[in-house]
Copies of this chain bind each other. A is one copy, B any other.
């Protein structure tokens, strides 16, 4: 990985969100808009960006704590931080080192990565770089059932410890910005995991609305049903997390099906514009499903303070998407590591000022509701 030492971290980056403006300058316009954009009018994307600021914090004066411990148990594994790298397709779009840079940087920061089905590096290759942290695999169910099960088997064999099945993206969203800039995948970047099944290109790999629409009926017919999910749960030894849940009823269904956890997410505002923010739905969902099931959450997390708020509202952990990719675009693995480091530091500082010695101290009374 040639570039690991090459890049310097820009001196004026003070928080992980600061990577965004660098990424915007570094990336080719179409790539930038593919990554940064949302669907439709981007009203959900905009809501993701502002919803956290609507929740305030409550400082604890002169707290009686000596140490901050951010450890959590997820999937019966010990995670040093309540943070995972969200599954993001085609990371070589951001940087030539792609997923390999990300996984190494995450590992270096004691953070687990969720690898996308649509990774530009194969799941097997990524797994080789796995060191201390458990690796998770994000599954897009394939049109052909055999391919789906083959992917699962490969993930098991490569040592991934859990399966994140994404439910909210049966078809691509209406990503106007991306289309306006005529984004298309460069030849040399491909969904490596799907190469063996190249006949049936994954739905999600399609970009561009018109081709999509032509295929709408076909896509719908091929897209997964709830029965497919319960079959997978029954047939894998991996723990299954269902990603893209935004309603109480879907959360309850996930629990009934025996999922290990759910990921409350609006896919970063990229699928159906107008759906709510994760953070709005989180407390309702937690209240409805109780504490027997893990709840993770993403979409809009940009700081340690955002993480703190998500945890206070009921999440066991969060996932971080674009900021990681902006770090990657700006400074390769160093950028990813720095980005994650900043998040961890900020979370600890927030805990210190709110008097939380451990994650379980982060309760709803530590935040101020809108």
Contacts and interface: CB of A to CB of B under 8 A. Distances in A.
How many chain copies? 4
A45 to B, nearest CB: 12
Contact of A353 (B56, B171, B250): B171
A275 B58 CA distance: 6
Interface in A145-191: 167-168, 170-171, 173-182
A276 interface: yes
Contacts of A167: 61-62
A77 B354 CA distance: 36
Contacts of A76: none
Interface string A216-245: 110111011110110000000000000011
Given A57-B275, A275-B56, A353-B171, A224 B305 contact: no
Interface in A239-269: 244-247, 250
Interface in A187-228: 209-210, 212-213, 216-217, 219-221, 223-226, 228
Contact of A11 (B182, B250, B305): B182
Nearest to A309: B274
Contacts of A62: 167, 170, 223-226, 228-229
Contact of A56 (B55, B213, B276): B276
Contacts of A246: 59
Contacts of A367: 274
Given A14-B175, A66-B217, 6 more contacts: A41-B305, A57-B274, A62-B224, A64-B225, A66-B220, A210-B345
